Chain A
């Protein structure tokens, strides 16, 4: 059975099923959606049972002719990198759908968009044909536009169109890059097959054209990550999006950008990327420090979490830039692999931790207090012990406390990057200090101190909320204490990428 194709299109099938359910029957719509998202999650775990651990390269390839006249095929496959990100996607989709059971506005459309989004995101991670990849890449934009625009906060319309316009600029620039690659393959062998194009590297040595194509891809991924200074859509989108939308945006959609850098930019343009690695590292470090400082200045908890994403994604990009710098320098290969392991680990850690943080904000804001000002609370832990424990664990994980997942990721990034970019890495370490400061300060203001009497009667987490949050907290702890099985899978993919950089 083609397990990847099954996983990929299960959500789409679910969306088609929803089309034919009456929109008044909200309860059934929610259950069907959750059923499909859970089935997708289980299917993605099913991939693990077929996956050959310890084998490098892309596995489980499924392909079929699609538009053979112009060299376009349906081709999907996974390696350690895409597999773990795909499982993260299905997990967070299922949890987001579960969290959204309380959404009562236009339930049918809401759930339908989530399922569409899931297929789009999985497609990006699975696709091994540039045309297919582009289709899925764009497919993620439309549902998110509507999710922000219809169910978002007060400035939803502005945030939604800004998100759409920014990312479309990037996508189209990448499309031109893809076409440049395609037309520089020898006539007769032209294909959009990713692996074939990476093998041939048609633009190697073309100078200006390679530069243009590199920057086309760069723009697309950098906007998605987002790197400073392309990040300005992020605070708007993350803050205005409904809680589950923010979760998906932060946990998965940002990873599409970093995934793109590792999967495409590094192997396709090693020379050009190396040439610009110091610039990319500079932008990454600015993102780290700027994100942390701006997060510290926020009084809106959701904005604070949003800016902390700019900070965390900066670490990932620092590691990617370090790996790019190692091209053609055998003595740096080991460090580059470590940095990439850290980068992938951070993608997962940030997905789990920030996903949890947005849920934490949503739990308190959506149907308890309708406020999320950091200064509006105080002593909340005494009132809400379960909620307090979950939130504080997630914040500790985000600031990089040893024993939690975020620490493992950041440790690897810093170890790997330091032997390649010592100065940048040292500067980025400042970000860790600031992050620790603002999260501790936030914990202090919200959960400790005298209890704000306004919130003395709040109910603690209910059973459904526990089901959405506890799995994420458990994962933070498990992979924080024992990351080895995860790292083994990731490491092989990183070694592959490093080998292509040789």
Chain B
């Protein structure tokens, strides 16, 4: 092992060290000073982002797309750095809104921030893992942190239920995925994705079986039908900042790992995964959208919406041979990060103001919280895919990819689904603006949450109005090492 290679792990090491340090520091913080742990976490995440930025520059200076370290088990390329930025941003924003949320609800504030840091660390590992075993471990690492976070509010039965459900579902799908990986190992004789890609030559039932079982684990992480059933209950029951984190962090990392696994290790000639994922994409978006139509609870609606968005994102894999698909997938995940976090932040403000997560109970909130309601308009339009928002440009990218490779039926279905989705997204705006307000007393927004809302709002609009910088970044980032 080459010790100098450790420098490529700088962002991960910063976050890991901060997580451990936070556990210790938290012991000595007075009860009313617990939120300082959150500030420590934020500082660590910022430092990690800076370190990732340095690595990005170093890769550019080396004139290479990426490096493989630790006997090819770990790959640091622009693709993985892109997802590290996404993971750090997601974790950072959630910690930011957690500064007010956790101290108000639990004495174990430090542990919440520690777990978030570890989950963020796991996401970064997932983005870089290029070995079946490391991949499995990093996914498990994210999952274990997530189970604990989902059930973090021990006094709340719904939170407990969320934790247990998430655990049972996760354990089962991870088991299936591990089995799939072992078959893949049996076929290729190596756990390195690069070796598997080179040696997996025949198209046979075993290869399909292995990829299919691996899809169970990835599908669980990204809420793909038929591995989506946990989503609504966990989203509804988990503490809202944690739900917000689940909806963007593990989903983005899940797509990163899935894309790397398929693109590097599974040549489409052996297993026709683009076709399989096209079908799954169609089913996922349709199931998610139709069920979202029925929801009255905002968090459950956003849960089904996140299933639908997993469906749109799968277009990016189904149409993988188009450069638009690869860029679109990356762009969409960033757009979804800002938009969906923003939507959940609004849900937190609305729940504070009304004491309820039910959409009809948010009637007339635009009178009490005009700026927050206006932000929700942008987020809901972005989720529908209406310009000039980031969500629109993401959909534009992915629909274009489908047209580019001739998957017209999938593009048409995605269009139909977008129209359906307008109905329930606008349903939220209808409550905020069109329905009469039972009270007009102005409501307040805590500072951390307000900052989070501003960042997500600006991100959603800026990436939609002027996407060029992101487009340039994803153009480089899509070329992952070994493809």
Contacts and interface: CB of A to CB of B under 8 A. Distances in A.
Nearest to B323: A70
Given A135-B388, A139-B387, A175-B399, A69 B423 contact: no
A424 interface: no
Interface string A138-174: 1101100110011000001100110011001100110
Nearest to A137: B387
A428 to B, nearest CB: 33
Interface stretch (A1-9, A179-187, A196-204, A348-356): A179-187
Nearest to B427: A161
B373 to A, nearest CB: 10
Nearest to A156: B434
Interface string B363-396: 0000000100000010001000011100010001
Given A176-B411, A179-B399, A161 B423 contact: yes
Nearest to B387: A135
Interface residues of A, number: 34
B412 interface: yes
Contact of A70 (B377, B381, B471): B471
Interface in A66-83: 66-70
**Chain A binding surface SS class:** helix
A145 B471 contact: no
Contacts of A138: 386-387, 392
B2 interface: no
A183 B403 CA distance: 8
A455 interface: no
A165 B419 CA distance: 7
A172 to B, nearest CB: 4
A168 B422 contact: yes
B468 A67 contact: yes
Interface in B399-440: 399-400, 403-404, 408, 411-412, 415, 418-419, 422-423, 426, 430, 433-434
Contacts of B381: 142
Contacts of A165: 419, 422-423
Given A157-B434, A175-B396, A180 B403 contact: yes
Contacts of A173: 415
B399 A66 contact: no
Contacts of B433: 146, 149-150
Nearest to A134: B387
A459 to B, nearest CB: 32
Nearest to A132: B387
Given A69-B471, A175-B396, A180-B403, A141 B386 contact: yes
A332 interface: no
Contacts of A212: 408
B400 A179 contact: yes
B472 A172 contact: no
A179 B400 CA distance: 6
* Most chain B CB atoms below 10 A, which of A69, A160, A164, A182: A69
B388 A157 contact: no
B388 A139 contact: yes
B419 A168 contact: yes
A157 B400 contact: no
* Most chain A CB atoms below 10 A, which of B392, B403, B404, B412: B403
Contacts of A180: 403
A183 B419 contact: no
Interface in A312-363: none
Contacts of A69: 468, 471-472, 475
B467 interface: yes
Contact of A176 (B377, B403, B423): B403
A183 B400 contact: yes
B318 to A, nearest CB: 16
**Chain B binding surface SS class:** helix
Contact of A66 (B370, B404, B422, B468): B468
Contact of B399 (A23, A68, A176): A176
B68 to A, nearest CB: 28
A197 to B, nearest CB: 15
A140 to B, nearest CB: 11
Contacts of B408: 176, 212
B263 to A, nearest CB: 21
B419 A172 contact: yes
Nearest to A160: B434
Contacts of B377: 142
Contacts of A161: 423, 426, 430
Nearest to B377: A142
Nearest to B324: A70
Interface in B460-483: 466-468, 471-472, 475
A269 to B, nearest CB: 17
B404 to A, nearest CB: 5
B96 to A, nearest CB: 25
Nearest to B474: A69
Contacts of B400: 179, 182-183
Contacts of A23: 370
Given A69-B472, A150-B434, A212-B408, A164 B422 contact: yes
A145 to B, nearest CB: 7
A26 to B, nearest CB: 15
A235 to B, nearest CB: 20
* Most chain A CB atoms below 10 A, which of B392, B404, B426: B426
A149 B430 contact: yes
Nearest to B430: A157
A275 B85 CA distance: 53
Contacts of A172: 415, 418-419
A139 B386 CA distance: 8
A401 B388 CA distance: 44
Contacts of A135: 387-388, 392
A83 B370 CA distance: 37
Interface string A211-238: 0100000000000000000000000000
Contacts of B386: 138, 141-142, 168
Interface in A34-87: 66-70
Contacts of A141: 386
Nearest to A161: B426
A169 B419 contact: yes
A27 to B, nearest CB: 20
Nearest to A19: B374
A395 to B, nearest CB: 34
Contacts of A66: 466, 468
A141 B426 CA distance: 12
Contacts of A142: 377, 381, 386
Interface string A221-263: 0000000000000000000000000000000000000000000
Contacts of B387: 134-135, 138-139
Contacts of B392: 135, 138
Interface in A451-495: none
Given A70-B471, A139-B388, A161-B423, A175 B415 contact: yes
Contacts of A70: 324, 471
B408 to A, nearest CB: 7
A179 B388 contact: no
Interface in A119-136: 131, 134-135
Given A135-B388, A172-B418, A176-B411, A183 B434 contact: no
14 contacts: A138-B392, A139-B388, A142-B381, A146-B433, A149-B433, A157-B430, A165-B419, A168-B386, A168-B422, A175-B396, A176-B399, A176-B411, A183-B404, A212-B408
Given A141-B386, A156-B434, 4 more contacts: A68-B468, A70-B324, A161-B430, A176-B411
Instruction: Give the 10 A-B CB pairs with smallest separation, nearest first.
Output: A135-B387, A172-B415, A179-B403, A69-B471, A149-B434, A67-B468, A179-B400, A138-B387, A183-B404, A169-B419
